[in-house]
Chains A and B, each alone.
Chain A
Amino acid sequence: MSVDLSSRYLGLDLAHPVMPSASPLTGDVDHIHALVAAGAPAVVLPSLFEEQIEHDAMAVHYSLEMGADGFGEAADGFFPQLDDYNTGPEDYLDLIRRAKREVRVPVVASLNGVSTGGWTMYSQILADEGVDALELNVYRLPADMTQSSSDVELAYIRLVEKVKNSVELPLAVKVGPYFSSIPDMARRLSDAGADALVMFNRFYQPDIDLETLEVIPNLVLSSPVELRLVLRWLAILHGRVGCDMAATSGVHEADDAIKAILAGATVTMMASALLRHGPSRLTEVRDGVGTWLADHGYESVAQARGSLSYLTAPDPEVFERAGYMKTLTSYVPTW
């Protein structure tokens, strides 16, 4: 019996629920081709970083101004004026154009903004390029001791509202897990216009170099263990928020994807495993999901989706605090 793997995410009809998430892999059209050939039903492009664009522009400006107007023999600075410095989003837009032109799956653009104006401006620019959906990669790290959690949360909501009002595109919002109340935030984001929540963002984390005693920003690839956090919140939110949910962070094998779907994920997204193992891993996961569902008598992904969620699990409190108790007490040291 063949299982119906089709899934609908952000209003887009996908052949199955295993797709590549935003990563360096999707930043290259050749890789996108390989992913699509491996069965990717859609691709999320890496994030366009407003901060990076601003930084690049200012770096060019700084370089051109450095030493200029200060010394009579080098009054015009030290660099030739070039035709174009392409400090804007042009490279990214070119990636969108090529991806849209060359592959036949939906293309989701991802945006990381800084300013309110930047979020909306770049959202419009991306929408104008004809992307199928937009994922907002929201990255706010409150280091301000006086900023309250409700201020931080409100900023997320306002941001989603503004972008939703400025573009007519399906909107996914990729957030981190560090809210006091994820259910409340999920509901408010959904109400603000999010068509999907992408859970969860994996922030760059600082590391310390013991040789130099310097702090180094770092991003390590995910491990399947990270899926646990995602599973909990998928399960708790499934059926209780009005938007789709994408599981990302920790989907490495078919079993991970199946778990995410059972917990309530509309789609599962992969990055680290694809970076490690190449696009063929996506095929393996897709096929593995199909096989598992078939082996276990499911007719479709839809049937399985959320079947082990907070609303549907036989023992839903496991997703709550009891889960912590159980883990702790069942852990027996080996020494």
Chain B
Amino acid sequence: MDMTAIATRAWATVDGNEAAARIAHLLSEVIAIYPITPASPMGELADAWSHQGKPNLWGVVPDVVEMQSEAGAAGAIHGALTAGALSTTFTASQGLLLMLPNMYKIAGELTPSVIHVAARSVATHALSIFGDHSDVMGARQTGFAMLASASVQEAQDLALISHLATLESRIPFLHFFDGFRTSHEVAKIELVDEATIRDLVDEDLIAEHRLRALNPNNPSLRGTAQNPDVFFQAREAINLFYDAVPETVSRAMDRFSEVTGRSYSPFQYYGAPDAETVAVIMGSGVGAAREAVARLVESGERVGLVQVRLYRPFDVAGFVSELPPTVKRIVAMDRTKEPGAVGEPLYLDVVAALAENDLDVDVIGGRYGLSSKEFTPAMVAGVFAEADTEDPRRHFTVGIVDDVSGLSIDYDPGWWAEPDDVTRAVFHGLGSDGTVGANKNSVKIIGESTDLYAQGYFVYDSKKSGSRTVSHLRVSPRPIDSTYLVNEADFVAVHQFDFLEDIDALDIARPGGTVLLNSPFPQGTIWEKLPIEAQQAIVSKDLNVWAVDAATIAIQAGLGGRINTVLQTCFFHLTDFLSTEDSMVAIKEHIRKSYGKRGQAVVKRNEEAVDRALEGLYQVEPGPVDSDRRITDPVPDVASDFVKRVTSMMIAGKGDLLPVSALPVDGAFPTGTAMWEKRSIATEIPIWDPDICIDCGRCALVCPHAAIRFKAFAADVPIPDGFVWKESTGKDLRGLRIAVQVAPDDCTGCGICVEICPAKSKEVARHKAIDMEPKDIHLERERRNFEYFLEIPEMDRSQVNAASVKGSQLLQPLFEFSGACAGCGETPYLKLITQMMGDRMIVANATGCSSIYGGNLPTTPWTTNGAGQGPAWSNSLFEDNAEFGLGMRLALEAQRDDAELLVTALAPELGGLAVEILDVIENPDHSDQDALVGRQRSQVAQLKERLAGMEGPLPRRLEGVADALVDSSIWIVGGDGWAYDIGFGGLDHVLASGRDINILVLDTEVYSNTGGQASKATPRAAIAKFAAGGKTTGKKDLGQIAMSYGNVYVGQIAMGANPTQTVRAIAEAEAHRGVSLILAYSPCIAHGYDMTHQLDHQKAATDAGYWPLYRYDPAREAAGEPGLRLDSRKPTIPFKEFASTESRFAMLGRSDPESAERLMQQAQQDIDDRWFLYEQMVNLHRTAEYVEVEE
């Protein structure tokens, strides 16, 4: 392959977010940002560029400011625009919806601006981070012009055209492209250079924008309130500006075309000039549609498509003129759903446009691609086929099987085959092995080192530990339109050998294709290790199989588990985009480029991996198709019918095949399903030695995945052979037996249990009561033992002190096996709370990590006890969680009131039971909540039994609300992004409500779920995304704010620093009959250290006074004592000593030592000041004393 770069034109291999953000940063002065997937990278890039001092087109570094929410960002840009700046923001989904009020204002005031949107599904029955147009369609009424990009190239080009057109038209623009499919697709594009942009920007228009700005030297008034007399007319005064937009956009596109050679128009037609059937579509689906149309036209079909770029204002004349005169049928394709409407928005626009022009054309409308559902040329062909039937469905869906309303159309997936000269490669990897990173790099190498076009798209599962990735790469001599996953690959790489037993990874390989396996087995033994499905695929498709022990080479090169460089080198060797020598040179060049700043050692080790890679590569000779191994069924037969029919399909990666009827109509799913998803991702698991164990239960307490269980049981419980147990040593469990048992397939191997274990062997100090040992050795035995362990009866709650560390751990966790990161600092708190009160919990969960590991399908860790009771959980939004939880409490109170009334009304029939129930309502004994709930449950059971035999409306009503007679524990759970920032207003309101509510803030001090952006919980001196220079302001003291109400229980806890205090605080919070706030220190991988050691870090954080432990209890205040009690000692180590062990602080010390030193000193001052204040507060009374004076 020719290594010469493409002459003169500037090319880059970037994703859609970067393509758009670069333009936005160049053309803005004020950029207000807030993280939301999949738009976050745009804000991150803008922030990073400004931090690096990268100027905009006019030499000024844009001011990038992170706001508390998208509503805040919209407000900030509105202000910036009003005061004359060029301002932009980036968002998606719910974020865009939060901007809507300001968007009306910005548009109504004719303020030029651009909002760049990575279009994403709006949460309805479920949240989805993936792409469709439901968000942007929700903004089409705001008055913003809307420009849709269909590819990474367009994301750049139309971003620029948006900025040009808004200045000229004064209408603000919403520029959007499809989330993930375009925002995260890496593709080779032609860059627009700054000189070109400068030529295109009309400085006079900017000057006019400045002149319109608020200025005390030329004052004007905006934002008036208008009365019925003029509002209407004033609203109509804007019309001519909208009328001019299509022409303005066309002109901007023409000027753009003149200087770049890339032609765009608001509507663009592709296909047969005499087409009778025309599809209308916008966004990334255009790519697939264009491919299909081209193929159909080649075969003589009279079809075409209109790509919509300028969607608002919808230029009726422009649209109609783009249609071929021969058109008879139009298919309007919408990537959104508007339930209850006559049709989806694009359909309605097309229908109206045709009607206004009296055109006799049939229009049908189809929904496709919701939440990044695949949309392929074969589907497009199916759509045209449907349109050509005699009686096509007016409204249809494509890409799913709708066996309920029958709307889905059939299509032949085999209709489409990609051209032979497009090389397609698919890579199966782990998130942690660097596969995706290497593939992004490979796309860049091919894009930048050859004249070929390259595209990379990456599919992630929703797990945060042991996550799997599939990379889809295409390389082509032509620009790549294919906006869908590879479905037949020339090259398949399986970067983790054991994947072969979980999925049919070679199914996608084309006959004669190449397979690369990362194999830990010696050469000559691989064949017998392959499952039979892989053997069959290799033989039947005559695949060329190569293998390399990448892990060994990576370890030898000093790269640990990062096998990416080794396998990348093999990939280039086995393909022919570049010669092996050239590819190695190119890989090394990219290693230097990517890692050079990180240090010579990183470069050197990766280069060594490149040099060694091919030494270990060898071809695998196929043998007979005969293997004991086979792809395992995802769930066992004992699972529930729903799990077997539905959940198992999702676990197996076959969720696309589920028909509509398989899924709940309202988004409600059963809990207790994580237990069926046996991921078995650990290489080492903890193994218990009962001879050393001291029965403390701490291993179980800190386990983030409930994969270490602790149980006490009577001596008469039968014990099978091989099950490990011991006699209890404590007085509290005298006569009982103890077992500590690992769930071997659910453990993530984080090792925290071993870290906390205090019991060491007298002979071999490194040997503790639990040690990490290779899983393979113990797997079968531990599987059997765990199965048996689950059968051992659970402890009677009344025999256990749930408010103690050991007692709580003897109780069944009702939060287990989540997909959270190995070593997650949040999940142990949730698990603990479920042990203490999970049987009566209702959880309102803010969007964030906890809603993803808690509620991202296929499974949920929230589960039930033997009686079928357990936490009931829901996630509403990011911003409303406190209010959501409050609403739940209000609902329970209302139902309890209703139940009380009904019990009173039915007292004559219910007799003594009514008296008992009303007595408990009147005089509940909260001192033993377990006992109270037990009594209430017993009463309700009796009540329901009695009601079943009673006639009339009142018993029926009471049946509906009877459960509200049992105390529920409402837990409002969320991270710091919610509590400190976007949800703070609501949280504050709920703190003030006085209702019986518990609030758990899992404080990772950063937006963890979206990748580590700073929040107001981020401490001073820490670096984070959006705070690349180190956060310069201190952390908000949320506890102090809550304490100021006086009647809010506040506990600041860190399980690793003081587990007893943690348990007590949670118990006290539950006992407090008002609002309780628990601030839980939650180590996170965003802190930058090995999570195995997180307990030491928690302890150090407390020792440094960085995270002081305390409890503020209004009950103490009421008893005449100071409400605040400090549970940690005066700081014993300097902040710096703690901070130097975490990358979030230490990295700033490396990159900018002077700032780091200054911020560190200020951070120490923060700590000193806070401790000084708290020390005084422990002696303070907030309740005034009134002394009666005798006259």
Question: Do A and B form a real pair?
Answer: yes
Whether the Cβ atoms of A57 and B1012 lie closer than 8 Å is no
Contacts of A71 in B (CB 8 A): 431, 460, 462-464, 467
Residues facing A in B573-627 (CB within 8 A) are 595, 597-602, 605
Whether the Cβ atoms of B1088 and A78 lie closer than 8 Å is yes
Any chain A CB within 8 A of the CB of B1023? yes
Q: A70-B469, A80-B51 are in contact. Are A57 and B1009 (CB under 8 A)?
A: no
Contacts of A54 in B (CB 8 A): 599, 601
- Cα distance, A66 to B431, chains bound together (Å): 9
Whether the Cβ atoms of B1147 and A60 lie closer than 8 Å is yes
Among B37, B458, B602, B1006, the one with the most A-chain Cβ atoms within 10 Å of its Cβ is B602
Residues facing B in A40-78 (CB within 8 A) are 53-54, 56-61, 63-78
Contacts of A79 in B (CB 8 A): 1012, 1023-1025, 1086, 1088, 1143-1144, 1147
Whether the Cβ atoms of A61 and B602 lie closer than 8 Å is yes
Any chain A CB within 8 A of the CB of B135? no
Contacts of B1150 in A (CB 8 A): 56, 60, 84-87
Contacts of A73 in B (CB 8 A): 37-38, 40, 129, 852, 1009-1011
Any chain B CB within 8 A of the CB of A83? yes
Whether the Cβ atoms of A75 and B458 lie closer than 8 Å is yes
Any chain A CB within 8 A of the CB of B1151? yes
- Cα distance, A213 to B180, chains bound together (Å): 51
Tell which of A57, A59, A65, A72 touches B129, judged by Cβ atoms closer than 8 Å: A72
Contacts of A143 in B (CB 8 A): none
Tell which of B51, B432, B460, B1027 touches A72, judged by Cβ atoms closer than 8 Å: B460
Scoring A residues 157 to 173 as 1 if CB is less than 8 Å from chain B, else 0, what string do you get?
00000000000000000
Whether the Cβ atoms of A57 and B437 lie closer than 8 Å is no
B1086 and chain A: residue at smallest CB distance: A78
Residues facing B in A2-60 (CB within 8 A) are 53-54, 56-60
Residues facing A in B29-70 (CB within 8 A) are 37-38, 40-41, 44, 47-48, 51-52
Q: A57-B600, A60-B1150, A70-B430 are in contact. Are A75 and B1088 (CB under 8 A)?
A: no
- Cα distance, A301 to B20, chains bound together (Å): 74
18 A–B contacts from the bound complex (CB under 8 Å): A56-B599, A57-B599, A65-B437, A67-B821, A67-B1085, A69-B431, A71-B460, A74-B1008, A74-B1012, A75-B460, A76-B1011, A77-B1011, A78-B1008, A80-B51, A80-B1024, A82-B1028, A87-B601, A213-B760
Q: Nearest 6 A-B pairs (CB), nearest first?
A: A70-B431, A57-B599, A74-B1011, A78-B1012, A87-B599, A69-B436
Residues facing B in A235-269 (CB within 8 A) are none
Q: A72-B129, A78-B1086 are in contact. Are A58 and B558 (CB under 8 A)?
A: yes
Q: A70-B464, A73-B1009, A78-B1012 are in contact. Are A85 and B1147 (CB under 8 A)?
A: yes
- Cα distance, A71 to B129, chains bound together (Å): 11
Any chain B CB within 8 A of the CB of A334? no
- Cα distance, A135 to B37, chains bound together (Å): 54
Whether the Cβ atoms of B1147 and A82 lie closer than 8 Å is yes
Whether the Cβ atoms of B1151 and A69 lie closer than 8 Å is no
A214 and chain B: residue at smallest CB distance: B765
- Cα distance, A73 to B1008, chains bound together (Å): 9
Whether the Cβ atoms of A69 and B434 lie closer than 8 Å is yes
Whether the Cβ atoms of B51 and A65 lie closer than 8 Å is no
Tell which of A53, A58, A66, A84 touches B1088, judged by Cβ atoms closer than 8 Å: A66
Whether the Cβ atoms of A72 and B1086 lie closer than 8 Å is no
Whether the Cβ atoms of A72 and B37 lie closer than 8 Å is yes
- Cα distance, A214 to B1096, chains bound together (Å): 14
Any chain B CB within 8 A of the CB of A330? no
A179 → B minimal CB distance (Å): 30
Any chain A CB within 8 A of the CB of B184? yes
Any chain B CB within 8 A of the CB of A88? yes
Any chain A CB within 8 A of the CB of B435? yes
B1142 and chain A: residue at smallest CB distance: A63
Among A66, A74, A79, A88, the one with the most B-chain Cβ atoms within 10 Å of its Cβ is A74
- Cα distance, A80 to B597, chains bound together (Å): 13
Any chain B CB within 8 A of the CB of A181? no
Any chain A CB within 8 A of the CB of B831? no
Whether the Cβ atoms of A57 and B601 lie closer than 8 Å is yes
Any chain B CB within 8 A of the CB of A81? yes
Whether the Cβ atoms of A88 and B600 lie closer than 8 Å is yes
Contacts of B1143 in A (CB 8 A): 59-60, 63, 79
Contact count band on A: 35 or more
A127 → B minimal CB distance (Å): 17
Residues facing B in A155-211 (CB within 8 A) are none
Any chain A CB within 8 A of the CB of B562? yes
A86 and chain B: residue at smallest CB distance: B1150
A280 → B minimal CB distance (Å): 27
B466 and chain A: residue at smallest CB distance: A70
- Cα distance, A153 to B726, chains bound together (Å): 53
Tell which of A57, A75, A76 touches B602, judged by Cβ atoms closer than 8 Å: A57
Contacts of A68 in B (CB 8 A): 437
Contacts of A64 in B (CB 8 A): 598
Contacts of B1147 in A (CB 8 A): 60, 63, 79, 82, 85
Whether the Cβ atoms of A87 and B598 lie closer than 8 Å is yes
Q: A72-B180, A73-B37, A75-B436 are in contact. Are A88 and B599 (CB under 8 A)?
A: yes
A66 and chain B: residue at smallest CB distance: B1085
- Cα distance, A77 to B460, chains bound together (Å): 14
Whether the Cβ atoms of A69 and B1028 lie closer than 8 Å is no
- Cα distance, A318 to B801, chains bound together (Å): 72
Residues facing B in A264-311 (CB within 8 A) are none
Contacts of A59 in B (CB 8 A): 1143
Known contacts A61-B598, A66-B1085, A80-B51, then 15 further A-B pairs from the complex at CB < 8 Å, ordered by chain A residue? A60-B599, A65-B434, A65-B562, A69-B434, A70-B431, A72-B129, A73-B38, A74-B1012, A75-B436, A78-B1086, A79-B1088, A80-B1026, A80-B1027, A80-B1028, A85-B1150
A57 and chain B: residue at smallest CB distance: B599
B749 → A minimal CB distance (Å): 15
Whether the Cβ atoms of B434 and A58 lie closer than 8 Å is no
Tell which of A57, A69, A72, A81 touches B48, judged by Cβ atoms closer than 8 Å: A81
Contacts of A78 in B (CB 8 A): 1006, 1008, 1011-1012, 1025, 1084-1086, 1088
Among A56, A73, A84, the one with the most B-chain Cβ atoms within 10 Å of its Cβ is A73
Contacts of B469 in A (CB 8 A): 69-70
A59 and chain B: residue at smallest CB distance: B1143
Among A61, A66, A75, A214, the one with the most B-chain Cβ atoms within 10 Å of its Cβ is A75
- Cα distance, A74 to B1153, chains bound together (Å): 27
- Cα distance, A54 to B602, chains bound together (Å): 8
Among A63, A71, A81, the one with the most B-chain Cβ atoms within 10 Å of its Cβ is A71
A87 and chain B: residue at smallest CB distance: B599
Contacts of A72 in B (CB 8 A): 37-38, 129, 180, 184, 460, 462
Whether the Cβ atoms of B598 and A76 lie closer than 8 Å is no
- Cα distance, A200 to B983, chains bound together (Å): 62
A45 → B minimal CB distance (Å): 18
- Cα distance, A60 to B1147, chains bound together (Å): 7
- Cα distance, A68 to B1185, chains bound together (Å): 57
Whether the Cβ atoms of A80 and B47 lie closer than 8 Å is yes
Contacts of B458 in A (CB 8 A): 69, 75
- Cα distance, A67 to B1151, chains bound together (Å): 21
Contacts of B1085 in A (CB 8 A): 66-67, 78
Contacts of B38 in A (CB 8 A): 72-73
- Cα distance, A70 to B466, chains bound together (Å): 8
- Cα distance, A213 to B1151, chains bound together (Å): 37
Contacts of A67 in B (CB 8 A): 431, 464, 821, 1011, 1085-1086
B597 → A minimal CB distance (Å): 6
B1146 and chain A: residue at smallest CB distance: A59
Residues facing A in B147-177 (CB within 8 A) are none
- Cα distance, A73 to B469, chains bound together (Å): 13
A67 and chain B: residue at smallest CB distance: B1085
Among A65, A66, A82, A213, the one with the most B-chain Cβ atoms within 10 Å of its Cβ is A82
Among B37, B462, B1147, the one with the most A-chain Cβ atoms within 10 Å of its Cβ is B1147
Contacts of A70 in B (CB 8 A): 430-432, 436, 460, 464, 467, 469
